[in-house]
């Protein structure tokens, strides 16, 4: 499922490139073939690099959100999370990496709530089993399960705290942060998740990756202290509803801008490490960002405080266990094994998908 402008652009560019180099294509200048060679190298590099940054808030966004959530915690639990700040931040994107290895993973990151009619927040049962009874599990999985998966991960985190199982607490906290952040992205709550139904391909990555990368250093991330959440399922449904209420603005503003903005200035080429990528231009991004009037900032802020509040509440629900014991060698071995396994799965899958593309 294409979730970013980069992915769309790559597939289009690859197709365009294949046309250019096909024997039927017209190639009057020999130097053009060298340009093609350079392009081909660039595209191959892009295909290698691209899968790292395809989904959700982008790697940068997710890592920042999880990191900032640690600083919302009450002091009694903040010390534990601060001690593991690097883990919580670095592993904020594991859930996205798992998409390449596990077919069940993708629906955990979104819910196409508008699939369920005009009044979906009235019609879709909040509780998982009621929703399964009404629609079947296959249907729920087909259109995404993020609110229910957040609830599941929350229960798992309570369990991890009860067991005082530090690797399990860290892994579950990082993943829970990821799914909560995804639920705060408007385009994670609609069938038109990448503007594919309104000729706005690429808007998904534009909103959730490009804009935070360009502007988040100016955002105000002082979001206050995490609070106890007595009903996590209701809280995450509320987040999904607020996200969904913003979908029209996300799409309409970009459509308006696209109509008024000079089309030859909409995209620009930018250096990314050793690669050159095509991205929404800075001028186009600046205009869109202005029209959104702090929306991306508001959704990031809401993600951060909700994540902190969920972590804190899980710890309270588990009876506020003492977590002052340091990581044992065995804990470190478990975490290292999991990291290696995830990396191996990810590498195996991304290589396979590239071969498939070719
Ligand atoms: Zn995600």
- Convert the pLDDT of each residue in 272-302 to its tens digit: 888 898 999 999 999 999 999 999 999 999 9
Tell me if 194 is assigned to some domain.
yes
Distance 26 CA to ligand 1 centre (A): 42
Distance 344 CA to ligand 1 centre (A): 19
pLDDT the model gives residue 102: 87
- Using the structure block, give the residue that is written with the tokens 């995804």: 182
Residue 280, domain extent: 56-357
Strands (DSSP E) found in 145-280 = 267-272, 275-280
Distance 186 CA to ligand 1 centre (A): 13
Distance 93 CA to ligand 1 centre (A): 7
Domain with residue 236: its CATH number is: 1.10.575.10
Residue range 253-270, pLDDT digits in tens: 999 999 999 999 999 998
Strands (DSSP E) found in 168-252 = none
pTM over 0.85: no
Tell me if 32 is assigned to some domain.
no
pLDDT the model gives residue 49: 37
Q: Are 222 and 24 in contact (CB under 8 A)?
A: no
- Nearest Cα neighbor of 281 from 206, 187, 195 is 206
Distance CA 312, CA 145 (A): 23
- pLDDT average, residue stretch 116-141: 98
- Structurally, the chain folds into a number of domains equal to 1
3-state secondary structure labels for all residues of 96-133: HHHCCCCCCCHHHHCCCHHHHCCCHHHHCCCCHHHHHH
Tell me if 230 is assigned to some domain.
yes
For residues 9 and 90, which has the higher predicted lDDT (pLDDT)? Answer: 90
The half-sphere exposure of 167 on its side-chain side, counting CA atoms within 13 A, is 12
Distance 216 CA to ligand 1 centre (A): 19
Distance 58 CA to ligand 1 centre (A): 8
Q: What Rg, from alpha-carbon coordinates, does the chain have? A: 22
Distance CA 308, CA 66 (A): 8
pLDDT the model gives residue 348: 80
Tell me if 146 is assigned to some domain.
yes
Distance 143 CA to ligand 1 centre (A): 15
Tell me if 19 is assigned to some domain.
no
Residue range 340-353, pLDDT digits in tens: 988 888 888 754 44
Tell me if 10 is assigned to some domain.
no
Give the number of residues written for the chain.
358
Tell me if 267 is assigned to some domain.
yes
Distance 182 CA to ligand 1 centre (A): 5
Q: What share of the chain is helix, strand, coil (3-state, %, to 5)?
A: 70, 5, 25
Tell me if 321 is assigned to some domain.
yes
Q: Quick one: tokens of 196?
A: 């594919």
Residue range 302-342, pLDDT digits in tens: 999 999 999 999 999 999 999 998 889 999 999 999 999 88
């Amino acid at each position: 499922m294409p979730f970013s402008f980069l992915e769309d652009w790559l597939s289009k560019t690859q197709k365009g490139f294949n046309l250019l180099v096909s024997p039927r294509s017209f190639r009057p200048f020999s130097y053009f073939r060298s340009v093609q060679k350079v392009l081909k190298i660039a595209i191959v590099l892009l295909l290698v690099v691209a899968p790292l940054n395809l989904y959700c808030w982008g790697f940068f966004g997710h890592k920042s959100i999880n990191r900032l959530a640690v600083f919302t915690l009450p002091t009694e639990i903040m010390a534990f999370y601060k001690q593991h700040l690097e883990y919580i931040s670095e592993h904020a994107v594991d859930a996205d990496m798992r998409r390449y290895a596990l077919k069940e993973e993708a629906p955990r990151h979104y819910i196409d709530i508008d699939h369920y009619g005009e009044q979906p927040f009235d019609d879709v049962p909040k509780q998982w089993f009621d929703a399964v009874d009404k629609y079947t599990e296959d249907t729920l999985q087909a259109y995404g399960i993020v609110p229910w998966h957040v609830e599941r991960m929350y229960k798992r985190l309570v369990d991890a705290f009860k067991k005082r199982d530090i690797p399990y607490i860290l892994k579950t906290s990082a993943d829970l942060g990821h799914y909560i952040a995804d639920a705060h992205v408007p385009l994670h709550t609609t069938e038109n998740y990448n503007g594919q139904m309104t000729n706005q391909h690429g808007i998904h990555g534009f909103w959730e990756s490009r804009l935070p990368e360009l502007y988040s250093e100016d955002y105000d991330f002082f979001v206050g202290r995490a609070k106890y959440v007595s009903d996590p399922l209701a809280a995450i449904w509320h987040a999904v509803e607020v996200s969904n209420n913003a979908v029209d603005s996300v799409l309409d503003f970009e459509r308006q801008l696209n109509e008024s903005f000079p089309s030859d200035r909409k995209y620009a080429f930018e250096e990314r490490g050793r690669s050159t990528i095509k991205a929404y231009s800075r001028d186009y991004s600046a205009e869109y960002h202005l029209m959104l009037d702090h929306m991306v900032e508001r959704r990031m802020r809401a993600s951060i405080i909700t994540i902190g509040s969920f972590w804190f509440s899980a710890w309270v629900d588990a009876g506020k266990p003492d977590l002052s014991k340091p990581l044992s060698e065995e804990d470190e071995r478990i975490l290292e094994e999991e990291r290696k396994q995830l990396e191996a799965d990810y590498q195996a899958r991304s290589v396979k998908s590239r071969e498939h593309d070719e």
